[in-house]
Each structure stands twice: as structure tokens, then as C-alpha cells.
Structure 1
Amino acid sequence: MSLRIATFNIENLMSRFEFSGFRNQLKQDRVLRLFEVRSEAEYQRLEEARTIAHTDDTRQLSALAIAECDADILCLQEVDDMAGLQAFEYGYLFKMVGSGYRRKYLIEGNDTRGIDVAVLMREETRDGEPIVCTNVRSHAALTYADLNLHTPALAALSLLPSDRIFKRDCLELDITVGGRPFTLYVVHFKSMGPARDGLDGRSATMPVRRAEALAVRRIIEDRFGAGGGQAAFIIAGDMNDYQDRIDVTGDRRGGYAFQPRAESESALDVFSHDGFAENIVRRRPEIDRWTLFHSRGPQERHLCQLDYLWLSQALARSNPDAVPEIIRQGQPFRTLFPPGQAVERFPRTGWDRPKASDHCPVVATLDL
């Protein structure tokens, strides 16, 4: 009996307009900077038109990426609200996959922009086995003090013991597939952000992500015992950190070079250092694990994995040959692919936009 499960940061599936760019140029879309905008009302009118025109292409591409996954259970990040999720499923996904994802789960989390994690599920697998969610629990209210996870490094970031651990949530779902149970944890860890205090953005914010990973592990161990016991669980989502990356150098005329590099430290070491869970994307070749192309211009470019399916020891042992797929057809043409990895992009994909997302979906077929 097999189950296909995917995770996808769908990138700002919003159901509202964002007008703060009129006063804050850092939040203003680049195309509007080309025009003289005389009033806030005029800015709002132009921003509405730009957003609507851009969003239709983007969501067609997002839906194509999801259809390519062909997953029974889909974990999403950066979803505004249930109304927006339902509108996307009905207006875009339904046209490509039919009435596949009838069951949807979303609980409002802690993100200041209002983006949440969500789960979409089919009523049964491709093999006809029923998929049933028996319980859903949010852990958004947990504080550092609740789990005794506050540290001097967090205090240096002006975070208090009473502050909430998860920057979005850790959404816990108990699911049975054909009567066989497993537990799914869906997360979206703290983003890396800009450099601060002499540290790059990743290093500066790593204490926050480490605390989030420790909290996920504590939640699992408090329920199933040390090391997760023999439980079948999956930790899925955008974790905004990596244990290795591929540095990209060179240029279009002279050619590009792709150099893998292991990181000495990662917040995700919390899961891997003692075999608590396995990142099964690491079963792919080192050069072929990336789910995001990061670029701040020619001087700072790399490919890395930010999107994960971590399997419990029990699930990893029972799926020794499961190798995830990474759906890259929705990546924009500015993304630099290592040799031999190029794919045919979805129709209407642009140089930078439209695109399915800045992230690539990750999907795996598992035997429960």
C-alpha cells in the first residue's frame, strides 16, 4: 500500500492586497518604480491591477507544479487563509486534477504577514485506500518557557521566554491510510533575513530555527518516547536552512561552475545528528538535492535544499528505496541548473516571473 506525500512552499498565496509599498519602497514592486505615482489612491489602483494580472499566471504555474506531484497528501506553506486556499483549489487545481483535494486543514498561526501552513488531502489514495484525518492540533501557542528552550542566543535577538517558539506553527495531524496510522508535522521555520551584527542572515537567525527544530523534536518525543520510539511520523515543510549547498560561480559567456559545499552547522542537525529522523532527499546525489536558487546578483548565488520530508526511523527503515522527486519545471529561467538537470519549463514561465514559486515541490511515494 503506497502513499504519495508532497511539501510545497507555494509563495504568498494571498487573498488580499498589500499597499505598504507606497510608503516603504523596500516593499514596493520594481515595476511600479518605473512610473511616477502621484498619490496613494493611484498607487493602490496600479498595485491592484499589477497583482491581479501577475497572480493569474503564477497560480496556473503553481497548480501545474502540484499536478505534477500527483500527491495524495499535500503540505503547503505561505497560505493566507482558508478562503484563499479554497478559491485556489476550485479555480486552478480543480481544472488540472479534478475533485482531488476535498479535505483541507489550516489553523491560523503566528506569522506577522498572516501566512500559514496548510494540508490538502484526497479522500483516498490512487490504490483506493481511504485517507482519514482523525485529529488536528496546532502548537502555535507554545512559548520558549513552556519547553525550557530559551537561551542567551535568543535573548541576544531580543526574544523573551514568554515569546512563541514557532514563527508560523507546527501543525500536527493524525492520519490513517487504509487503517494504518501515521502522524504528520507541517512546519515553516524562521526565514534567514538580512545580515545583522556582523553575521550573515542565516547565522544570525539560526538560534530561532534551532529552537523550532528542538520544539518539534520535543513534541514528538513527549508523545512517542525518546528518539520517537517506533512511531511512524513525517516532518514536512520549508525549514529555511540547509546542511549543504551548491555554490554557483562564473557567467553566461564563460560558463558556470557548481561546487557542492557541506555546512559545519545547521539548525537541522537537531533531527539528524543521532538518527532521530532521516532527510530522505539526501538519498539523491549531492549535486541534485536543491529546492531553491538563491541569488543576490552574480556575487552571491547558490542552490540549496530548504524543503524537507523527514521520516521517522521506523518509516525510513520500511522505505529503504524511497527517493523523493523534486519538481523543478516551475522554476524561472534565471535559475541556474547544474549540467544534466535542465527540465522543460511549464508554459508561460518567465525569466524571473511568472513562476510556480521560488521553491520546488518535493514528493515521495512511501509504503506505510
Structure 2
Amino acid sequence: MSLRLATFNVENLMSRFDFTGFRNQLRQDRVLKLFDVKSEEDYRRLEAARIVASTDDTRQLSALAIAEAEADIICLQEVDNMDALRAFEYGYLFRMVGHGYMHKYLVEGNDSRGIDVGVMMRDQTRDGERIEIVDIKSHAALTYADIGLFSPEIAATNKPDDKIFKRDCLELDLKIGGRPFTLYVVHFKSMTNGRDGVDGRTSTMPIRRAEALAVRHIIENRFGPVHAGRKDFAICGDMNDYQERVIVSGSRRTGYGFTHEDGLPSALDVFSHDGFAENVMRRREPLDRWTLYHARGPEEQHLCQLDYIWLSPSLAARNAGRAPEIVRGGQPFRTVFPPGQEVERFPRVGWDRPKASDHCPVVMSLDFA
């Protein structure tokens, strides 16, 4: 009995326009910066036209990436709302996979932009085993004070009664062929710009660490600290942090170099330091674990894993011979691939856009018996 489980940050699956770029240059798309737009009315008209013109290609590519993953359950991040998810599944994904993801779950979370985590699932696995939803629970209301996570590091940017999860931790109780399985879907705090001379990843790490501690608290409170490792659970999502990365040097003309850096401080040490859960991506080769290419010009380039499927010790042991797959065909042509990893891009992928997403879907086949 096998289940294909996936996670994918679909990147701004929105059903509304964002016109704040007229007053906030940081929110303005680069193409509109090329034009002298005199009035807000003109800006709104041009921005709406830009979004409509680019979205069709983008969502075709997103759907192709999901279709290639062939997952029975897919966890999604950056979904505007249920209407947007339904419209995407019916208008794009249905054309590629047919009547597949009939069941969709999303709860409005805490993100200031309104992007949420969600889940799509089939009625049954590809092996014909029934997928049942027993219960679904949002933890978006959980505060630092609720579980004693308020600290001096957190106090620099938050108050005790602030919500821990910047989006949500969506908890789904499932049965796969009658066997219990609990799924946690998250999207941790992003690595924003640095402040006071501290880089963005470091300055925001306490918030992500609190989110990871809160996920662990939820699981241990549910199953008990001793028994949690014996249960079948997975923690999936965009966690906006990494314990390793691949530094990219060089250029297209001179050739690229790839240097693996491991053992980096990370909020995700909360899951890994004592074996609470396993990042199964570590079963792949060190240069082949990345799900995102980061670049701020040729001087700053690296590949890293931001998208995770963490398995409980029980589930990881039962699937010791398996490793996740990464769908990279929707990556733009600017992404630098280490030797031997090049893939055939989906039709109409551009140098930077259109693309399926800035993230790659991750999928893994899991045995439950």
C-alpha cells in the first residue's frame, strides 16, 4: 500500500490584483518601472493587463509541475483562497490530470498578503486504497504566550499575544487504506531583508524556530513525547530555511563551480537534532537536494532546500529504501543546474518568467504497510 505525497509552493496563486506598487516602489513590478506612469488610474489599468497577460502561462506551467509529480495528496503554499484553488484546479490542472483532486482543504491564516496553505487530494491512491479525511484543524490562532515560546529574541519583533504561525499549521487526520496518518502543512516566516547589520535569514530565524517548536509541541501534545516517534506523521511545506546549501560560483562564459556547505545553523534543527523527524531529502546526493535557486546577481548565487517532507521515525524507517523526487522542469532558464542534473524545461518557460514557480515540487512514495 503506497501513497504519493507532495509539497509545492505554487507562488502567488492569487484571485485579486495588488495595486500597492503605485505608492510603494518595493511592491512595483520591474516592467512597469520602465514606463512613466502618471496616474494611479493608469497604473491600475497597466498592472491588471500585465497580470492577466502573464498568469495564463504561469498557471499552465504550475499545473504541468503538479501533473508531473503524480501525487495522491499535494500540500500547497501561497494560495489566495479556496475560490482561487478551485479555479486553478478546474481551469488548468483538470485539463492535464482529469478528475483527480476532487477534495480541497484550506483555512484562512495569518499572512498579511492573504496567502494560505492548502491541500488537494484524491479519493484513493494509485494503488486503489481509499484516502479518508477524519478531521482537519487550524492552529493559526496559537500565540507565543499560549505555549511559553515568548523570548527576548522574539520580543525584538513580536508581542506575547502575537500569533506564532505567520500563515498556519494545518493539521489533517487521514486514513490511508484504513491506516491512520497525520499530515501537518506549514509555510514558515520568510527570510526578509536584514536589519541593524544582520542579514535577513539570521534576523528572522528566531521566528521560524518558534514556528518549528510550535509544530513539535502540537505533535508531542497530540501523541505524547515518547509515543510520537511511533506514529505515522509527516510535516510538509515551505520552511524558508536550510541546514545546507550549494554555493554557485563562476559564470556561463567561464563555467560554474559548486561548493557544498553543510551544518549551517537553522531553525529546522528543532526537528533533526534528536531524531524527532527525518528530512528524507538527505537521502539524495548533496548537490542534488535543492528546491530553489537564489541569486542577487552573479556575486551571490546558491542552491538550497526550502521545501520539505519531514517523516516521523516510524514512517521513515518503513520507507528506508526510498527518497523524494524533485520536479525541476518548471524552473526558469536562469537557474544554474549542477552537472548531470539538467532537465527538459516545460514549453514556454522563460529566462526568468514565465515559470511554474520559484520553488520546485517535492514528492515521495510512502509505504504504509
Match of 1:86 in 2: 86
Tell me the amino acid that sits aligned with residue 334 of structure 1: R
Counterparts of 1:148 and 1:262, CA distance in 2:
31
Match of 1:129 in 2: 129
- The answer to whether the 8 Å contact 2:229/2:276 transfers is no
Relative to the length of structure 2, the TM-score reads 0.99
How far 1:343 moved relative to its partner? 0.4
Counterparts of 1:251 and 1:274, CA distance in 2:
40
Match of 1:205 in 2: 204
Please state whether the residue corresponding to 1:212 is helix, strand or coil.
helix
Please state whether the residue corresponding to 1:84 is helix, strand or coil.
helix
- Mapped pair 1:41 → 2:41: yes
The unaligned stretches of length 5 or more in structure 1 are none
Give deviations 1:344-366, integer Å, cap 9, x for gaps: 00000000000000000000000
Please state whether the residue corresponding to 2:3 is helix, strand or coil.
strand
Counterparts of 1:356 and 1:320, CA distance in 2:
30
- The answer to whether the 8 Å contact 2:276/2:313 transfers is yes
User: Any residues of structure 2 matched to 1:161-176 within 5 Å, and which?
Assistant: 161-176=160-175
How far 1:8 moved relative to its partner? 0.1
- The answer to whether the 8 Å contact 1:3/1:365 transfers is yes
Tell me the amino acid that sits aligned with residue 187 of structure 2: H
How far 1:229 moved relative to its partner? 3.8
Match of 2:180 in 1: 181
- Mapped pair 1:244 → 2:244: yes
Match of 1:346 in 2: 346
- The answer to whether the 8 Å contact 1:245/1:263 transfers is no
Please state whether the residue corresponding to 2:137 is helix, strand or coil.
strand
- The answer to whether the 8 Å contact 1:235/1:311 transfers is yes
Match of 2:5 in 1: 5
Aligned-pair RMSD on alpha carbons? 0.7
Please state whether the residue corresponding to 1:9 is helix, strand or coil.
strand
How far 1:192 moved relative to its partner? 0.5
Tell me the amino acid that sits aligned with residue 241 of structure 1: D
Match of 1:282 in 2: 282
Match of 2:192 in 1: 193
Counterparts of 1:142 and 1:362, CA distance in 2:
28
Counterparts of 1:199 and 1:338, CA distance in 2:
30
Counterparts of 2:38 and 2:142, CA distance in 1:
45
Please state whether the residue corresponding to 2:202 is helix, strand or coil.
helix
Q: Matched residues, percent identical?
A: 70
User: Any residues of structure 2 matched to 1:77-116 within 5 Å, and which?
Assistant: 77-116=77-116
Counterparts of 1:16 and 1:280, CA distance in 2:
36
Tell me the amino acid that sits aligned with residue 113 of structure 1: R
- The answer to whether the 8 Å contact 1:190/1:208 transfers is yes
Match of 1:220 in 2: 219
How far 1:195 moved relative to its partner? 1.1
Match of 1:359 in 2: 359
- The answer to whether the 8 Å contact 2:79/2:115 transfers is yes
Counterparts of 1:347 and 1:288, CA distance in 2:
23
- The answer to whether the 8 Å contact 2:242/2:264 transfers is no
Range that drifts further, 51-60 or 254-263: 254-263
Relative to the length of structure 1, the TM-score reads 0.99
Match of 2:331 in 1: 331
Please state whether the residue corresponding to 1:341 is helix, strand or coil.
coil
- Mapped pair 1:76 → 2:76: yes
Counterparts of 1:320 and 1:209, CA distance in 2:
28
User: Any residues of structure 2 matched to 1:240-319 within 5 Å, and which?
Assistant: 240-319=240-319
Please state whether the residue corresponding to 1:146 is helix, strand or coil.
helix
Please state whether the residue corresponding to 1:182 is helix, strand or coil.
strand
Counterparts of 1:319 and 1:186, CA distance in 2:
20
Counterparts of 2:270 and 2:123, CA distance in 1:
34
- Mapped pair 1:119 → 2:90: no
Give deviations 1:201-256, integer Å, cap 9, x for gaps: 10000000000000000000001111524110000000000000000111111111
Tell me the amino acid that sits aligned with residue 187 of structure 1: V
Match of 2:27 in 1: 27
Tell me the amino acid that sits aligned with residue 319 of structure 2: N
How far 1:23 moved relative to its partner? 0.8
Counterparts of 1:226 and 1:234, CA distance in 2:
16
- The answer to whether the 8 Å contact 1:135/1:174 transfers is yes
How far 1:263 moved relative to its partner? 3.7
- The answer to whether the 8 Å contact 1:195/1:204 transfers is yes
- Mapped pair 1:52 → 2:47: no
How far 1:127 moved relative to its partner? 1.1
Give aligned pairs, total: 367
Please state whether the residue corresponding to 2:171 is helix, strand or coil.
strand
